[in-house]
Amino acid sequence: MIFNSYTFVAFFIIILLLHHLPISWKFKKINLLIASYIFYAAWNPPFILLLWLSTVIDFFVGRALFTQTNPHKKKFLLVISLIGNLGMLCFFKYGTFLLDNFVSVVNLLGLEYHPATPNIILPAGISFYTFTTLCYTIDMYHKRSEPVKSMLDFSLFVTFFPHLVAGPIVRPPQLVPQFETERIASKKQMFDGLLLLSLGLFMKVVLADGMLSATADAVFNSTDVLSGLDAWIGVFAFSGQIFLDFAGYSTCAIGVALCLGFVLPQNFNYPYAAIGFSDFWRRWHITLSSWLKDYLYIPLGGSRHGKLRTYYALMLTMLLGGLWHGANWTFVAWGGLHGLYLWIEKYLRDRKKDTDNESKKITRDTGWIGFFYALLTFMLVNITWVFFRSDTFSKAWQMLISMSGTETGGKALLTTLSIIKVLIIIPSIIITHWFMRNTKVLDVAHQLSWWKLGIAWSTIMLLLIWSQESGSSFIYFQF
C-alpha cells in the first residue's frame, strides 16, 4: 500500500474514524498496531513474521542490556542483537550481491564455480526498521534512555505505519513517549497534517512522476552516447525526481502522523540550498545522516583522535552509507564521492579557519556569494547522482562522457517539451529552497490569508486528481 493510492485514502479514513472512537487508549494503540501490520502486509504478508521477530528480539534484548551489569554478558547480548538485525539485513538485501562478488573473485583465481542464483525477495523497508531497532538496543547498551516498558508501545514504535517503510528513521525518545498518553489531533494539527499530506503527494505524483521521471528514465535507460544537453537535462531530472519523491514521502509520513496526533522528526530541510556538503548532509535525509553520525562516525573516532582518524571515519561512514542505499558498487561509489567532497571541504575549512571571521561567514551564507556556493554544491551533487541512478559503472561512465560534451555526434534524445519542463522545475526548486532555507512550509502557510491558501490548496488537489494515473511506487521503497 502506498500513500499515492485510492486504497490508502480509504484505509486512512477508516483509521481516523477508529482513532476518534470513544474507546480506551490501549485499544486505540492496538488498532494502530493492527493497521500498521495491514499496511505492511499489502506488499508481502509473510514478511510480517520477519518484522515481528525483529521487534520481539530487540524488545527483550534491549531490556536485558539495560539491566545487565556483567560487561561480558552485556557485550554478548549486544552481539546477539547486531547479528539478528544485521544478519537479516545482509541476507535479504545483500545475499545475492555478496554471492555474486564471491563467485567473481573465485573465478578470477581460476576456479570454476557457478552456483544457482538465489531467489531472494527484498522485504519492504527492511533497511529503515532495522536501523530503528538497532538504535534502540545500542542506546540500551550505553544506557542513553530508559527501556520501553510496554511491548505494545515498542511494537508500535517499530511498526507505526507512516514511518515504517521509508522513514523518517525515528529513535525511541522521539516517538515512544507519545504512545504513553492519549493522542488525538487538534484542529490545527489535523489542518496542518492534511496540508502536508497534500503537499507531499503533489511533490511525488505531479512533479516527480508526472513531470520528471519519464525524462530521467529515458536518459539513463539509453544505450547511446547522448548530447551534452540531453545528458545534463536527464541528470537534472533525476536530481529533482529523487528529491521530490523522497521528500514527498517524508512530508506525507509527517502529515499522516500529525493527523493522528503524533509528531515525527523532520527529514528534509531544503537540501538544494546547501552551502557545501556538510551543510547538504544536515539537510538531506536528516534522520539517516544523524543516525550515521551518532552510531557509526562517532564510534569510529569522529573528530576526537586527530585529522587522519577523522578522515578515515568520515570516508568509511559515507561508504557504508552508500552501501545502505543498495546492493551495488555504484552506490558505494556514490557514497565515496560524497566522502571525497567532505574531505576536500574539511581540508579547505581547516586551512582558512584562522583567517575567516564571522562577518565573512555571514556574507558567504546569505548573499550572492552564498547563492553561488549553493549552485556549485548543487552541480557537484548532480555528478554523484549519476552513480546513484546508474546500474553499472560502464553506464555511469557513458553518462559522464555525454555530460562532458567531448564526444562528437551525441544523440539528441529528448523532446523540446521535456527539456522545457526540466528547465522550469529545477530552477524553481533551487530558488524555492534558497528563499525557504531558514523557514518552514507550515510557517509560510500560516502567514497566508485564508483565500490565498485556499486557492493554492485547491490547485494542488486538482492537479493531484488530474495526475493520479501517473503515480508509481516511491523510489526509496527499494532501499
Secondary structure of the chain as H, E, C letters = CCCCCHHHHHHHHHHHHHHCCCCCHHHHHHHHHHHHHHHHHCCCCCHHHHHHHHHHHHHHHHHHHHHCCCHHHHHHHHHHHHHHHHHHHHHHHHHHHHHHHHHHHHHHCCCCCCCCCCCCCCCCCHHHHHHHHHHHHHHHHHCCCCCCCCHHHHHHHHHCHHHHCCCCCCCHHHHHHHHHCCCCCCHHHHHHHHHHHHHHHHHHHHHHHHHHHHHHHHHHCCCCCECHHHHHHHHHHHHHHHHHHHHHHHHHHHHHHHHCCCCCCCCCCCHHHCCCHHHHHHHCCHHHHHHHHHHHHCCCCCCCCCHHHHHHHHHHHHHHHHHHHCCCHHHHHHHHHHHHHHHHHHHHHHHHCCCCCHHHHHHHHHCHHHHHHHHHHHHHHHHHHHHHHCCCHHHHHHHHHHHHCCCCCCECCCCHHHHHHHHHHHHHHHHHHHHHCCCCHHHHHHHCCHHHHHHHHHHHHHHHHHHHHHCCCCHHHHC
Burial class (CB in 10 A: 0-12, 13-18, 19+), 316: middle
Bond prior to 162 in cis (omega within 30° of 0): no
Cα separation of 318 and 346, whole Å? 14
Q: Measure Cα distances from 391 to 211, 230, 234, 395, 402 in Å.
A: 23, 19, 15, 7, 16
Q: Which of 372, 371, 396 is nearest to 386 (CA)?
A: 396
Which cell is 458 given?
485547491
Active site residues: 325
d(CA 65, CA 84): 15
